[in-house]
């Protein structure tokens, strides 16, 4: 079916794009001239789509992402939250590190056993 439609449409496309068609359309048929010029141009679908849909979306996304992400969450995370998390983790590790060697060996052994159970 698609091949049949292609075979039917191919002569029309060749005729519309040929120079003889341009001379034929230059006659006094206004409706045929409009159809010829509509099909001979690029129909401006890409230009209309980019102007009215893509550019406003990208502009609003860039403006809002700068306002909320760069100035909001990024600064809050990097300047306030990240040092608090690192400080809390360091304090937790400091409490666990007692310097008692059998405790460190037991932690290492349980970590190895847990690793082997999870991955094997």
Q: Contact, 56 vs 80, CB < 8 A?
A: no
What span, in angstroms and rounded, lies between the C-alpha atoms of 39 and 37?
5
**pLDDT at residue 117, rounded to an integer:** 94
**pLDDT at residue 62, rounded to an integer:** 81
Q: Contact, 35 vs 21, CB < 8 A?
A: no
Residue 109 included in any domain: no
Residue 67 included in any domain: no
Residue 57 included in any domain: no
Residue 70 included in any domain: no
| Average pLDDT over every residue of 22-34 | 62
Q: Is pLDDT of 16 > 70?
A: no
């Amino acid at each position: 079916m698609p091949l049949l439609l292609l075979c039917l449409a191919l002569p029309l496309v060749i005729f519309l794009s040929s120079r003889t068609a341009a001379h034929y359309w230059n006659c006094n048929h206004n409706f045929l001239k409009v159809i010829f010029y509509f099909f001979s141009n690029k129909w401006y679908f890409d230009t209309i789509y980019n102007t009215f849909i893509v550019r406003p979306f990208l502009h609003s996304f860039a403006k809002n992402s700068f306002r909320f992400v760069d100035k909001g969450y990024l600064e809050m995370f990097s300047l306030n939250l990240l040092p608090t998390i690192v400080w809390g983790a360091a304090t937790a590790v400091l409490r666990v590190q007692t310097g008692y060697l059998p405790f460190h060996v037991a932690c290492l052994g349980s970590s190895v056993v847990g690793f082997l159970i999870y991955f094997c």
